[in-house]
Structure 1
Amino acid sequence: MPIRVEYSLTKEGRSLLPVVNAMSDWAAKHSPKDLYTGRHFDKVHADDFK
């Protein structure tokens, strides 16, 4: 049986989530649409697909 390990963020780590999300939004918004796909990228570019 493989060993299972779970990780979680500390309170301080969770406080960085808005910053990381903002950076991710910026990267997705400024990336070519054909570079990658995924829920986050599709959400950021939702208006581009209408």
Structure 2
Amino acid sequence: MRELIRYRRSLIEERAREINDIQKILEAANIILYSVATNALSKSGRP
């Protein structure tokens, strides 16, 4: 059970890192979504 919880936590952390990376890349390209959508990968941020 502990291994499962650790694995799940690592997946959540990895997903958060990837989301942050995507937002940084978009901001570097002068594409700022926070004025339109709070989260680029949320339901409101998807095309």
TM class, shorter-length: 0.3 to 0.5
Larger Rg belongs to: 1
Higher relative contact order (CA 8 A, sep 6+): 1
* TM-score, with length taken from structure 1: 0.38
TM-score, reference length from structure 2? 0.39
